[in-house]
Each structure stands twice: as C-alpha cells, then as structure tokens.
Amino acid sequence: MTQSRTHNCNELRLENVGEKVKLCGFYDNMRRVSKNLGFLILRDFYGITQIVIETEEMMDSLNGINNESTLTVSGRVRERSNKNPKVATGDIEIVPDSIEILGKCIYNELPFEISHSKEADESTRLKYRYLDLRNAEVRDKIVTRSRIVAELRQSMSAHDFLEITTPILTCSSPEGARDYLVPSRNHPGKFYALPQAPQQFKQILMTSGFDRYFQIAPCFRDEDARADRSPGEFYQLDMEMAFADQEDVFSVIEDVLPPVFAKYGIYKTASKAPFKRIAYREAMELYGSDKPDLRIDLTLRDVTDIMADCGFGPFEGNTVEAIVVTGYSASRKVIDKILADTEVVSGQKSYWFKVDEKGEIAGGIAKFLQERKDKVISELSLKPGDFVGLTAGKKQDALKSAGVLRKFLGQSAEGHMNKECYEFCWIVDFPMYEIGEESGELEFCHNPFSMPQGGMKALEEEDPLSILAYQYDLVCNGVELSSGAVRNHDPEIMVKAFSLVGLNEEAVKAKFPAMYNAFCYGAPPHAGIAPGVDRMVMLILGEESIREIIPFPMNKMAQDVMMGAPSAVDESQLSDVHIRIEMPKDNKEE
C-alpha cells in the first residue's frame, strides 16, 4: 500500500487542471445527490478538496465508510462549474479513478461533530483530544504556538544566547510549590524530583563561565489549576545573563517579546521599549495590584481622611479607597453585578455613589455623605455623570479589593479601556521580606535567591521590612508573565539574607549545596527571567483558558482523561522502587 500524495488538500488551483493527482486525508463528509452522483469532502492538515463521484460503482464503494476514516484518492483535476470563493481550492475538484481506505473509523457516531468540537463539554473534548485537534480552529492554535516558540528561539539566538537543556530528574528543592517525586530503584528510600524550574542549574551555568543561556524549559509543580495556569507542567522561556544587571535583562525582553505579540497577536500593537517601570508599592497604591492592566486608565485614590468618619459602619477605623469613573451611566443591574463579582474575587464588599445631572450625590451610600457632599465633590473633582466605586478594610485588603473593582469598572465603562493592544510594564522594587500570614514570622517575600538592594550593608543595618530586592515582574494586560531577579551570587550576603529568616549557614549549605559551593569559587554577577510560554500564547491568541493552547492539557483536577493518568501501577512496579502504598483510612475501600 502506497500513500505518496502528490499534493495536499489545500494546494490545487486552476493551473493544475488536467493533472493526474493523488491526495490523502480524512473523510470529512459526503453529499449524495443520486445513486451515481455525490460530492465527497476530503480534509487533511492543510485544508479541504472536493471529490466528485460520478459513477454508481464508485458510489457503492463508499457505502459503509464512516466519517473520519482516512482515504487516499487518485484522479484528475478539473475546473468546477459552481466555484466556492470561500475555500482556497474552490475553483477545482477531483474526478477520482480510485479511492482506497487507509484507516477505517469503526464508529457510526462521533462524540462530537469535528467542526463544532469546541461546543462539546470540556471533559469530552479532553477525552477525545485527538478528534478535537482535527478541528481546524483548535489545530491552528497549536500551529501558532509552534511558530511563536520557533520565533522566540530564533530571536534569543540572535541575541547571542545559547540554548542548553537542564536535567529533568533532580533533587527536591524548596521552590515554593509541591514537588513531583520520582522514587529511585537503585537507591532505596530516596527520590528524585521533577524541576519546578531550572533556577539552580541556570545559575550554576553562569558560574561555569557560560555568558548567556536560554531554553524553552519544562517545569513541574503539583499545584491546582487556574484559567491562566495548567496543573502539573508548563513551559517557560528561561534565560540568564552573566555580568548583567536588571536593565540588561529588560533590554533583551523588550526587544524579543513585542515583535512576537504584534506579529501573531489578535491585537496588532504592543508596547515598545522601554516598558513602563512601576515600583511595587506604587502599583499597589495606584492600581490595587502588582499586575495592573494598563489598558485601563482608572487609578485608586485614598479617601480615608474624608470618608472614614462619615457614619457608614464599614468605613469606620478602616482605609477607604475610591475609583472615580467619569461619564459612567451603567444601570443599577450592571452596578450590582460588578459589586457582586468584586466580592466573589476579592472576598471583600464594595460600595458606590454617583453625581446626578443636578450635581447632587445620589445612589449607594449617598445618604452618609450629604453633610460633606461639597467637600467630597471638591476633593475628588467630581462632575455630573461621574461614578465613584469604594472599598474599605485594612490597608492591603482595601487596596486589593479596589484593584479588582477597578478591573471590572474599566471593562464596563465606555472609553476607559483600550482593549485593542498589548500593554507591558515592569513591576520593580519588591520588598525583600514580609511577615508571613500563617507563621507570623519574617519570610522571604518573593525570591530567596535575589540580591537585596544595598547588599550586606542593608541586611546588617536596615529594618528587614524596609529592604527592597532587585526583583521584577513582567506584566501584560493584567497578566503576570514572569518573575525575575538579579541573583544573590555572594555566599556571605546569601548566608546573611537567610539568617534573617532563621536559616543558618549550615542550613543554606544543606538546602543548596551545589549552588552555594559553586558561588564559593568566584561567581559572576548574573540576572535572569523566565516568561511563561503558555501564558504568552494564551494572551497572544486572546484565549480565556490556558487549556486551549496546550496540545494535550490536563483537566482542572490534574488528570489526563485521554491517557487515564494518574493511574494505578502493578505491585511489582512498586516493589522495584521500594514503595508500599498505605491509603488514608477514609480512602480505603470497604
């Protein structure tokens, strides 16, 4: 049996009329006009071609062939009498000499119609992902992902970065998420871990004398799914630079990413270098978020001094944040939904009032503000038609809920959000330390491998909570694409930084032996970042769910329903790696 097609199903044009050709593809559908006339649509990866059946014998040979069977068609190209301008091959058709079945679909009914697979429920789509991917709309997103990754590789190489792969089997490391553990057969009772990120390896590469490293790195974290985060595994454009500082990293990323977003994105404009730099504390004060969507022009305003003592209970003794939306005429139904959505996302209630056409404060909490309405209007520079959203609580809670409210108001209000672009920014100057919500103790705020601003002097003399780090986040349209940092390459500064959170030198050596020892042999200053490939592609293609741009995604419970993973294994396999399973009592079978 030979396939050797001469053309694909999107290739033939009028200039091919009269040629003898051979096509291969899927049996998409067939319109039977009579017992000796039918129109078969053959589909492959590239497109479709119409096959005209004009004999009763050929029609009979197709009886019992189900849709999605794979066929090879040999025949001659002719010009169509009823051309279809909506299809690339719409000027021609094939009159077949022979049709051969290459792979038979044995099912009369499919789980879903291929061209409408996105309308099926997610569980069915994931179970039959091989059919879902036959849908051109679904397939094209994976094709675009491949092209984006290829372009990123090309651009990084053009910037003199060397692609180097790092180990998948490594040691467990306190990166902040749960590890996936792999038991060792040859070393009973010991485990490898799948890397949460190539962090330590890429820093060791810098100490090894490699100047610029990158890879499209697979990362593994046992964490729950979100709309913008796949459980289990993800990929990132991992990079590191020796003898580099924060601005060196920014310069590379600002040159590499915008052209890719502009070329492949649903929006054709992207921020040009330099991206806006916003200090972490400024971002929280202005936008209520460390990943602000700069397409929205609304900002926060602390109005505690004029609102906290107005007699409205939730404001008393709390920080009050306001968001002024000019010319906002939403219905009460829309406003109520925005407030409800804000509460769902932030866990905090929000409030409102507006200025009516007479210049009076009305709606929401207006009755509590009547005695000070002139001051409120003056302080906030309000005009008729303006709307004011409000949040209250402890400072951080008020800011975060106001950030959520800002997002919903910006998306709803006319003229306050430029949706047709990609707006990048850098969030910089993160605090080095914070007080842990659960522990109540001093903890690293962002990344323990970061260099503190001020170096050893800051660690020895300043209040730890006032120390800033050379850490930075890359944000696009309100989505955090990456975190990065100038690394702490000095063993003495590293030991001091960890000592403030209760880890002594021996503990640092025990947790990070390879990296610590490598730094003791003269490490160059270095810095890096690792933008998430999956999130980038999701943003570029305008998808709400990250699963739409991953070839074989897991579901929200970190299950691969197509392959049946995770799955039970034989006792002999467990014995090989010296493992015995003891289930929790409430999970044991009766």
Distances (CA, A) of 522 to 33, 63, 449: 80, 75, 17
The pair of structure tokens assigned to 390 is 């409000």
Q: pLDDT band at 162, cuts 50/70/90?
A: very high
Q: Please calculate the CA angle 544-120-115 and round it to the nearest 5 degrees.
A: 95
Residue 8 lies in a domain: no
**Best CA proximity match to 165, nearest among 209, 208, 217, 210:** 217
Pairing between β-strand 479-486 and β-strand 471-476 as defined by DSSP bridges: antiparallel
Do residue 339 and residue 362 come from a single domain? yes
Q: Given this model, what pLDDT does residue 445 score?
A: 87
* Mean pLDDT in residue range 379-399: 96
Report d(CA 257, CA 270) in Å as an integer: 9
Q: Give the mean model confidence (pLDDT) for residues 110-121.
A: 96
DSSP 56: H
Residue at 145 is within a domain: yes
pLDDT value, residue 538: 95
β-strand pairing of 232-242 with 212-221: antiparallel
Note the pLDDT of residue 232: 85
Is residue 246 domain-shared with residue 221, that is, in the same domain? yes
Whole-angstrom CA distances from 67 to 27, 30, 60, 431 are 5, 8, 16, 60
**So what's the pLDDT on residue 589?**
47
CA distance linking residue 62 with residue 417, whole number of Å:
55
DSSP characters for 11-24? T--GGGTT-EEEEE
Question: Does the residue 190 lie in any domain?
Answer: yes
Residue 423 has pLDDT above 90, yes or no: yes
Does the residue 583 lie in any domain?
no
Are 452 and 495 in contact by the 8 Å Cβ rule? The answer is no
- Whole-number average pLDDT of the chain: 94
Boundary-marking domain end, from 387, 417, 447:
417
Average pLDDT over residues 475-482: 95
Residues 171 and 71 in one domain: no
Same domain, 193 and 229: yes
Give yes or no: residues 228 and 200 share one domain.
yes
Q: What is the pLDDT of residues 199-215, one digit of tens each?
A: 999 999 999 999 999 99
- With a CB cutoff of 8 Å and minimum separation 6, the contacts of 411 are 296, 417
Among 417, 445, 472, which residue terminates a domain?
417
Is residue 143 domain-shared with residue 270, that is, in the same domain?
Answer: yes
The predicted model gives 245-260 an average pLDDT of: 97
For residues 1-30, give the mean pLDDT: 92
pLDDT at 438: 82
Q: Rounded distance, CA 521 to CA 519, Å?
A: 5
The SS3 of residue 225 is: coil
Residues 314 and 200 occupy one common structural domain: no
CA atoms within 13 Å, Cβ hemisphere of 66: 10
Whether the bond into 384 is cis, omega within 30 of 0: no
Average pLDDT of the residues in 470-479: 96
Residues 226 and 340 in one domain: no
Q: Tell me whether residue 282 is in a domain.
A: no
Do 548 and 509 have their domain in common? no
Q: What percent of the chain has pLDDT over 90?
A: 88
Q: For residue 387, what are the domain limits? A: 296-417
Which tokens sit at 579?
A: 């493992």
Q: Provide the CATH number for the domain around residue 445.
A: 3.30.930.10
**590, pLDDT greater than 80:** no
Mean pLDDT of 426-440: 92
Average pLDDT estimate for 427-432: 96
pLDDT digits (tens, 9 = 90+) for 139-158: 999 999 999 999 999 999 99
Establish if 123 belongs to a structural domain. Answer: no
Q: What is the 3-state secondary structure (H, E, C) of 450-490?
A: ECECCHHHHHHHCCHHHCEECEEEEEECCEEEEEEEEECCC
* Residue 52: predicted pLDDT: 97
**Tokens 């040979």 correspond to what residue?**
61
Tell me how many domains the chain contains: 4
Average pLDDT over residues 261-279: 94
Residue 213 lies in a domain: yes
Instruction: Indicate if 401 and 501 belong to the same structural domain.
Output: no
Dihedral angle, C-alpha 486, 487, 489, 495, nearest 10 °? 120
Lowest mean pLDDT among 268-277, 359-368, 442-451, 526-535: 442-451
Is residue 124 assigned to a domain?
no
Cα-trace Rg, the chain: 30
pLDDT at 5 over 90: yes
Query: At 71, which CATH number?
Result: 2.40.50.140
Q: Are 67 and 27 in contact (CB under 8 A)?
A: yes
Eight-state DSSP code of residue 224: -
Span 119-126, average pLDDT: 96
Task: Reply yes or no on whether the pLDDT at 175 is more than 90.
Answer: no
Q: Domain holding 354: CATH number?
A: 3.30.1360.30
Longest dimension (CA), the chain: 93
Shared domain check, 544 and 523 = no
Claim to verify: residue 404 and residue 437 sit in the same structural domain: no
User: What pLDDT does 246 receive?
Assistant: 96
